[in-house]
Each structure stands twice: as C-alpha cells, then as structure tokens.
Amino acid sequence: MPAGSSMMTMPLQISSLIRHADRVHGDVQIATAANGEVVHRQTWSDTHRRSSQLAASLLALGISAGERVATMAWSSHRHLEIYYAVTGIGAVCHTVNPKLFVEQVRYTMQHAEDAAVFVDLDFVPLLLQILPDCPSLRHIVLLEDDPEALRLIPTAISYEQFLAQGDEDFEWPGFDENAGAYLSYTSGTTGNPKGVLYSHRSTILHTWAQSLPDAMNLRSQDVIAPVIQFFHVNAFGLPCAAAMVGAKLVFPGAAVDAASLYALFESEQVTMSAAVPTLWQQMLNHLEANNCQLNTLERIVVGGSACPPKLMHAYQKQYGIKIRHVWGMTETSPLGVTNAFKAKHENIGEEQRYAVQAKQGRPLFGVEMKIVDSEQKELPRDGRAAGDIVVRGPWICREYYRSDAPALNEDGWFMTGDVGTLDPDGYMQITDRSKDVIKTGGEWISSIALENIALSHDSIADAAVIAVPHPKWDERPLLVAVLKPGSSAKPDQILAHFNGKVAKWWIPDDVVFADSLPYTATGKIDKKRIREQWRKQKPVKQ
Ligand code: AMP
C-alpha cells in the first residue's frame, strides 16, 4: 500500500457498474426491439441477476481469466448480459464486427483465438463459413429460443439453457483493474484489422468522463437508444455509461432503418441516441418525407465521420433536437473530444455558433491532445495551423493487441492518423484523415471542408472529395457527387456553389456523378475504393 493517503484502493472493475445499477436503479428498464417494436423487457436488476448466472455458467464451462469470448450479435439485453458476464470473471469480451469482410472476420477471430462465441441466428451462416479455420473455438452458444434453429449448428447450445446452468448466488470476483476487458478491432481499409484491448480501469475512467454534462450529459432520467451497435467500439461506451447513471436502455436490434427507429423512439420515449452521420441523414429524410416529429428526443450524438453543418441546422432549427458532435476512434475507447458550447458562446451570432459546432469538440479531461508537424514538433493552437493529431491518456491505446504495428510516436503519444487544427479555446477540428488530405502545390486542402460545402447544395445527396494526380500541382481535388432523385444539376452549377466559400484554388477541378458512394463496415465513406475507381479514369485539366 503506497504511503501518503488515507483512501481505500478499490480496483476499478466493470462488475461494479452492473452491481451499482442493480442496487440503485434496479427497476429501470432495458428494452430490446425487433423491427421497431419492443419484444423483450427486463430491468437492471434482472440484467444483474442474469449476468451473474451467465458468469457462473462460463466459469463452469472452463472459461478462464484472460481468455477471449466472442460475440457475433446485434445489440440486445442478452448482448448486454454477455458484456457484463464475460468481463466480470476477468475474461475478455471480443465484440466481433460481422459487417467486416468475411476474411477480416476470420482474421480477427483467429488472431484473438476466441475460446467461445455467442452468435445471433443472423450470423450463423457467417460463423459456419469461418468455423473450420478457427480451431480455438471450443464452445458455441446460440442466441435464439427456437429449438429448431439448433439444427443449423448442432454443436451449439441455446443461450437460455446455457444461462440456466449457472449458480444464481454467484459473487463477482475481485482482480487487477488493469486486466483486459473488451477487445475491439479497427476496421482499417488497408491491411488486417488491429486489435485494441481495453482494461477495466480504462473503461471505468472513460465511462465517468463520457457521462459528464459537456460530454454525453447522461442522467438517470434518460432513455438511451444506442443505435450504434456493440460491435462498433462498444456502442460508443453507452452500455457501461447507462449502468453508471441508471438510465433506461432501448436496443433497436438489427432494424436500424429510419422507419423502425422512428417508431421505437416514439413508443419508448427515447431522449438520447448516438450514431454515425449517415444514419441521422436517413432519419431526417424520413421526418421530412412523412412530415413528422421526434417528440421526446432531446439530443443526438454524432460521430464516426464529420457531421455536415447542414444536418446540424436541420435537426436544431426544424426539430429542436440538439446535436452533440464527437470525435474518437477504436484506439481512444472511443471518446476523445466532444462539442459543447462554453458560456462565452451564448450570445454570439447564429452563424458563429454553427462554426463552433462544426468543429469536432474539446478534449475530455483525461485526454491530452496536440498537433504536430512531420518532425513531431508541436504546432500552435491558433485554429489555423493544421497538423497530425496526437493524443495520450488513461483510455488511449498504448499498443495493439498481439501486434508490432506502431501505435506511439517517439515521445509516447498515440498517432491518430487524423489531421486537424486546435484553437485557443481547446476545440479541435478535423480537416482529414492524413491519407485523404489533398496536397496541392505544397499546400493542403481539406476534403471534409469541401464535402460539407457540396452537401449544402440543394441537389446533392452525398459527396466525397478525393485527390487526383496533377502534373503541375501534384494533386487536385475532384468531387464525386450523388444527386438527389429528380435533380439534374450540372457540374458548373455545383462548382459555382463553392465561390466565395473557400479560396479559389480550393475549388474542385471537376465534378463526377455516381449512383451511390461505397461505405465501410463502420459507416465511413470508403475513399480508398473511390480513389481506385476515379484516380485513373478522370483526366485532369491542365
Ligand atoms: P473508428 O476507429 O472506426 O471509430 O474510426 C476512427 C476514425 O473515424 C477517426 O480516426 C476519424 O478519422 C474518424 N472520425 C471519427 N469521428 C469523427 C468526426 N466527428 N469527424 C471526422 N472524422 C471522425
């Protein structure tokens, strides 16, 4: 015991979250939906009881501390139970992203050497495809009640049967707070996915920080619908944060189309939700097409990609729903910065307030951030100089799981791969992923800034700006646009929309039209594929 303090040193453990939710918020509900309708309800106390029982079943099965237990599942009350049961015995919960390419899913499960998997019926075909290549997988638990379903995968046991085997009087064990808890793989578009293993300590600290008012502002009266799935960086941490603050959780299951979500949000009186911008765009289209309102939704968290200002305007002005722009990544647990106004922003003009909101936000306490040049020299926090964003802190990745891939620079800061600015008030604004920056005549052009302008054009439904090679300027921007149905806007009309909004040399050289843009498994525009398609095809203007 270190000298110098009178305080207890209790390890920060994830099981303390579910025990707290049981004792203090025991009657608060967890609802699981299918196609927009709730099909199951239980309370935090039920979740605690069932998670403990499941933990006992896992121990009886021979799962030991440190072993990896995978989930291939949509968000649900059962996924929540697994999430607490696995980590509660000191094992590692690997939330497999089934939306990755099959070879990537295979790779992550082989790399993690998962000992067991909990699988939803929807992902059984995927599991069967990779099962012969995953010799470490000893146990399969099927998240399905219909006994007929077991015929599909006869070596599996059904979830309820498995859970019922556990001792109901199980007590959560104590162990080192630095033990591994959740394993998430990045969805990089180049190379194999890389694993990030969060610890109990990093998870609890992240959970505290994310619940604060200027972060996600979570409270016991909230009804939280994490539209983002568990397999995308642990649903932005919401399953843990909801237990910490005692909020109701509503899981949409597989149905994340706007109509199903709308029905669910209204019937369950959801107050808060989180997802990537494309999903909020679809919801907006639904609201506009059906002339309806979201009556209880107070605020939405938007992250994963830059939130276009036009989307913010629409939600805030037309529907009175506040947008909280956030930035983070798998390697930052995920929250790094969140965007809330300061007191000094209360009385500035509307346009200036939107300019503040378009930034990704301020670092949470616990995340140190700076921007550096190619020699790792710190750049000024003046809101203008753009450089590589590096971070450090107790919930930032130090090294990749079982990998030599470099994570830190020589000074011990994590290299995010994002490029951006920092202003004197601490707000960070991303200009690009470093590999998407357009380098023209020795200067950098932000593809995100150009995409936001393109998206503010009434005829454009989706947009990506990529660099195409240029003999004189090295690279020039090309706009790949998807037109709204019925629109026949011409390239010149679209390019004219950029006049006066950016320097002349920033304006894309040309516009090409696509029927749709490719997206990655985590909802980001797949610029690698767009570049592959257009860089060669599109002749440059001299
Ligand atoms: P992932 O690990 O899949 O969550 O991806 C992390 C990456 O998503 C970051 O490094 C950013 O490039 C991007 N990202 C996340 N949030 C934002 C945001 N609000 N604006 C722009 N890019 C974002």
Residue 157: give its domain's CATH number: 3.40.50.12780
At residue 523 the predicted structure's pLDDT band, cuts being 50, 70 and 90, is confident
Averaged over 55-78, what is the pLDDT?
98
Tell whether the model's pLDDT for residue 1 goes beyond 80: no
Q: Does residue 514 sit within a domain?
A: yes
What is the secondary structure of 68-81 as a DSSP string?
A: EEEEE--SSHHHHH
Judge if the beta carbon of residue 303 lies within 6 A of ligand 1.
Answer: yes
Question: What pLDDT was estimated at residue 187?
Answer: 79
pLDDT in tens, 423-474: 999 999 999 998 899 999 888 899 999 999 999 999 999 999 999 999 888 9
Judge if the beta carbon of residue 323 lies within 6 A of ligand 1.
Answer: no
The residue from 275, 306, 339 where one domain ends is 275
Q: Does residue 113 sit within a domain?
A: yes
Answering whether pTM is above 0.75, one says: yes
Q: How far is the CA of 63 from the centre of ligand 1 (A)?
A: 34
CATH of the domain at 399: 2.30.38.10
Q: Does residue 140 sit within a domain?
A: yes
pLDDT in tens, 182-219: 999 997 666 789 999 999 999 999 999 999 999 999 99
Clarify whether residues 425 and 493 are in a common domain: no
Averaged over 159-172, what is the pLDDT?
95
Whose C-alpha lies nearest to ligand 1, atom 21? 306
Question: What pLDDT was estimated at residue 406?
Answer: 92
Clarify whether residues 416 and 467 are in a common domain: no
The residue from 405, 433, 461 where one domain ends is 433
* Orientation angle between helical segments 200-211 and 15-24, nearest 10 degrees: 50
Task: Write out the residue range of the structural domain in which residue 392 sits.
Answer: 322-433
Clarify whether residues 331 and 367 are in a common domain: yes
pLDDT in tens, 86-108: 999 999 999 999 999 999 999 99
Which helix or strand (DSSP H or E) is residue 335 part of?
A: strand 335-338
The residues carrying an active-site annotation are 186, 331, 439, 444
Q: Does residue 286 sit within a domain?
A: no
Tell whether the model's pLDDT for residue 278 goes beyond 70: yes
Tell whether the model's pLDDT for residue 534 goes beyond 90: no
Clarify whether residues 259 and 362 are in a common domain: no
Tell whether the model's pLDDT for residue 541 goes beyond 80: no
Tell whether the model's pLDDT for residue 56 goes beyond 90: yes
Clarify whether residues 207 and 352 are in a common domain: no
Averaged over 409-434, what is the pLDDT?
96
Which residue from 351, 283, 295, 357 is spatially nearest to 323, judged by alpha carbons? 357
Tell whether the model's pLDDT for residue 542 goes beyond 60: no
Count of domains for the chain: 3
Ligand 1: which of 104, 339, 418 to mutate, most ligand atoms within 8 Å of CB? 418
Averaged over 261-279, what is the pLDDT?
97
Residues 388, 355: Cα–Cα separation, whole Å: 21
Averaged over 168-185, what is the pLDDT?
96
Clarify whether residues 142 and 173 are in a common domain: yes
Q: Does residue 288 sit within a domain?
A: no
Residues 36, 304: Cα–Cα separation, whole Å: 24
Strand order across the beta sheet in which 139-142 lies: 157-158, 139-142, 116-119, 68-72, 92-95, 180-185, 195-199
Mean pLDDT estimate for the chain: 95
Q: What is the dihedral of CA 54, 19, 302, 514, to 10 degrees?
A: 0
Ligand 1: which of 323, 329, 389 to mutate, most ligand atoms within 8 Å of CB? 329
The residue from 433, 467, 493 where one domain ends is 433
Question: What pLDDT was estimated at residue 129?
Answer: 97
pLDDT in tens, 218-249: 999 999 999 999 999 999 999 999 999 999 99
> Is-contact 300 274, C-beta < 8 A?
yes
Clarify whether residues 141 and 166 are in a common domain: yes
Residue ranges in 378-506 assigned as alpha helix (H) = 447-455, 491-496
Clarify whether residues 111 and 176 are in a common domain: yes
Tell whether the model's pLDDT for residue 540 goes beyond 80: no
Beta strands per DSSP E along 253-315: 272-275, 299-302
Q: Does residue 302 sit within a domain?
A: no
Indicate the range of 8-17, 70-79, 430-439, 527-536 predicted with least confidence.
Answer: 527-536
pLDDT in tens, 299-346: 999 999 999 999 999 999 999 999 999 999 999 999 999 999 999 999
Q: Does residue 9 sit within a domain?
A: no
Question: What pLDDT was estimated at residue 465?
Answer: 96
Q: How far is the CA of 26 from the centre of ligand 1 (A)?
A: 35
- 261: alpha, beta or left, given left = phi > 0 and alpha = psi -120 to 50? alpha
Clarify whether residues 415 and 444 are in a common domain: no
Q: How far is the CA of 305 from the centre of ligand 1 (A)?
A: 5
The fraction of the chain above a pLDDT of 90, given in percent, is: 91
pLDDT in tens, 488-498: 999 999 999 99
pLDDT in tens, 105-161: 999 999 999 999 999 999 999 999 999 999 999 999 999 988 899 999 989 999 999
CATH of the domain at 524: 3.30.300.30
Q: Does residue 213 sit within a domain?
A: yes
* Orientation angle between helical segments 44-61 and 77-88, nearest 10 degrees: 50
Output the 3-class SS for 18-54: HHHHHHHCCCCEEEEEECCEEEEEEEHHHHHHHHHHH
Paired sense of beta strands 29-34 and 37-43, if any: antiparallel
Averaged over 368-373, what is the pLDDT?
97
Question: What pLDDT was estimated at residue 538?
Answer: 57
Q: How far is the CA of 331 from the centre of ligand 1 (A)?
A: 10
- 412: alpha, beta or left, given left = phi > 0 and alpha = psi -120 to 50? left
Tell whether the model's pLDDT for residue 539 goes beyond 70: no
Clarify whether residues 40 and 164 are in a common domain: yes
Question: What pLDDT was estimated at residue 188?
Answer: 67
Clarify whether residues 425 and 448 are in a common domain: no
Averaged over 6-31, what is the pLDDT?
97
Judge if the beta carbon of residue 433 lies within 6 A of ligand 1.
Answer: yes
Clarify whether residues 123 and 214 are in a common domain: yes
At residue 535 the predicted structure's pLDDT band, cuts being 50, 70 and 90, is confident
Judge if the beta carbon of residue 360 lies within 6 A of ligand 1.
Answer: yes
Judge if the beta carbon of residue 87 lies within 6 A of ligand 1.
Answer: no
